[in-house]
Amino acid sequence: TGERVRAVVNIGIGGSDLGPNMAVEALRDHTDRSMTYRFVSNVDGADIAEATRDLDPATTLFIVASKTFGTIETLTNARTARDWLLAGLNDEAAVTRHFVAVSTAEAKVREFGIDPANMFGFWDWVGGRYSMDSAIGLSLMIAIGPDAFREMLSGFHDIDEHFRTAPFERNVPVLMGLLGVWYATFMGAQTKAILPYSHHLSKLAAYLQQLEMESNGKSIDIDGDPVTYDTGEIVWGTPGTNGQHAYYQLLHQGTRLVPADFIGFARPTDPMPGHHDLLMANFIAQTEALAFGTTRDEVEASGVPAHQVAARTFAGNHPTSMIMAPALTPRTLGQLIAAYEHEVFTKSVIWHIDAFDQWGVELGKSLALQVLDELRADDDPGAGSHDPSTLGLIRRYRRMREPSRSPEER
């Protein structure tokens, strides 16, 4: 339309969404605040509807991020975005001016209506969960600018070189990986908490969930044999201090072993008076409490009523790792993500599994396509097409989606 782009909407899923989405939020203070940045991943129509509800088609750019340009969730959202754009501008040529692609599949990009000149390619061997610093990060580069993006790449390179050259006893990703194997395989820990004391890292745990769980959630080793020990960790977490008022009780006094990574920064992104020292006091105090707890003698000496002494005694000895950097910048974010990438790889080598496949994801996707055809068919799928439970769910859904049916019929 000739107007300046005011909104960028990234359409992708998995690695084509989680990394850029996390990084744009992490580096919010480095973005152009006059712009709007949104991410659409869920095939639930509410996602694309909410992302476009208050946008102007004339000033919106869509980035369709899909390595194969065949991911059904991404293409469904992209087609809906295309329909929204055409309804607003009433010009078929608008697709070539308001859509770009990040992909390796030029023919499919052209078929969609995107000019291949506006396709940003990358190597087909780059896995989605390791792709944030490739062309998949286009939305991030638009948000923070090319100079800051290069700074982030320098951070990745810092840790790449450290991982490649540092002796194991001083190699941070190796030590992180060894700790992960120790807690998961030898100590029986099932989960790992990611606890960033930074509001801007609110999406870090979701990003690391895919990095860890899709990479190391394997029960077959690289020789094709079943593993005989626990692999992978269930990753979860939220920013401090919110989590302290939600689940830290279990970390301190529960019966489960939960290793935790605490991540903090010496300087705030927003220097509001009185806030950052309080935030970091909690950061430091929580790790001290988890490590050392309080003894019965200390509790009794504090004057606690006798009937509360046992409940207010903390055993301590809960494993934590503290990562503290001067400030959350593009470079430190690159360093942080690269450290976790190499940690995941280190664990996969020790566990003798392939961190770069994800066949478990493919099974559900292929079955979903079969079920989709059956949900849309006129005829009943019939006995034998699925197990009784799945067949019952399909039939019930088909009945319940008809608003004209009475509750009894549904």
Angle, helices 359-376 vs 72-89, to 10°: value is 60
List, in sequence order, every beta strand (DSSP E) within 230-319: 234-236, 260-265
User: What pLDDT sits at residue 410?
Assistant: 56
SS3 call for 345: helix
Given a contact cutoff of 8 angstroms between Cβ atoms, the answer to whether 263 and 323 are in contact is: yes
Element (H, E) at 119: strand 119-120
Given a contact cutoff of 8 angstroms between Cβ atoms, the answer to whether 102 and 65 are in contact is: yes
pTM here is 0.94
> Active-site residue 30, yes or no?
no
pLDDT of the chain along its 410 residues, tens only? 788 999 999 999 999 999 999 999 999 999 999 999 999 999 999 999 999 999 999 999 999 999 999 999 999 999 999 999 999 999 989 999 999 999 999 999 999 999 999 999 988 888 889 999 999 999 999 999 999 999 999 999 999 999 999 999 999 999 999 999 999 999 999 999 999 999 999 999 999 999 999 999 999 999 999 999 999 999 999 999 999 999 999 999 999 999 999 999 999 999 999 999 999 999 999 999 999 999 999 999 999 999 999 999 999 999 999 999 999 999 999 999 999 999 999 999 999 999 999 888 888 888 898 899 999 988 888 777 889 999 999 999 999 988 776 666 65
Q: Is the peptide bond between 241 and the residue preceding it cis, with omega within 30 degrees of 0?
A: yes
Cα 331 to Cα 69, 133, 257, 280, 337, distances in angstroms: 31, 12, 33, 21, 10
Q: Give the neighbor-by-neighbor strand order of the sheet with 234-236.
A: 234-236, 191-196, 260-265, 320-325
Least Cα distance to 336 among 207, 242, 146 occurs for 207
| Other beta carbons less than 10 A from residue 144's beta carbon | 24
User: What pLDDT sits at residue 198?
Assistant: 98
Cα 110 to Cα 104, 106, 393, distances in angstroms: 12, 6, 38
User: What pLDDT sits at residue 276?
Assistant: 97
| Other beta carbons less than 10 A from residue 137's beta carbon | 25
Q: Number of H helices and number of E strands within the chain? A: 15, 9
> Active-site residue 245, yes or no?
yes
**Selected catalytic residue, list 151, 214, 233, 343:** 214
Given a contact cutoff of 8 angstroms between Cβ atoms, the answer to whether 20 and 139 are in contact is: yes
Angle, helices 172-181 vs 146-165, to 10°: value is 70
Angle, helices 388-400 vs 359-376, to 10°: value is 50
Least Cα distance to 280 among 267, 291, 293, 290 occurs for 267
As assigned by CATH, the class of the 7-144 domain is alpha beta
Cα 227 to Cα 46, 82, 172, distances in angstroms: 41, 46, 27
Tell me which fold the domain 147-357 belongs to: Rossmann fold (3.40.50)
Contacts of 200 by beta carbon, 8 Å cutoff, 6+ apart: 25, 26, 27, 28, 29, 269, 328
Contacts of 254 by beta carbon, 8 Å cutoff, 6+ apart: none
| Other beta carbons less than 10 A from residue 281's beta carbon | 11
> Active-site residue 214, yes or no?
yes
User: Got the DSSP string for 268-284?
Assistant: -SS--TTTHHHHHHHHH
Least Cα distance to 257 among 194, 192, 209, 181 occurs for 192
| Other beta carbons less than 10 A from residue 323's beta carbon | 17
Q: Give the integer Cα–Cα distance in Å for 352 and 348.
A: 6
**Selected catalytic residue, list 3, 169, 245, 402:** 245
User: What pLDDT sits at residue 409?
Assistant: 60
Question: Which residue ranges make up each domain of the chain?
Answer: 7-144, 147-357, 363-401
Contacts of 264 by beta carbon, 8 Å cutoff, 6+ apart: 196, 197, 198, 279, 280, 283, 322, 323, 324
User: What pLDDT sits at residue 407?
Assistant: 61
Instruction: Answer yes or no: same fold for 7-144 and 147-357.
Output: yes
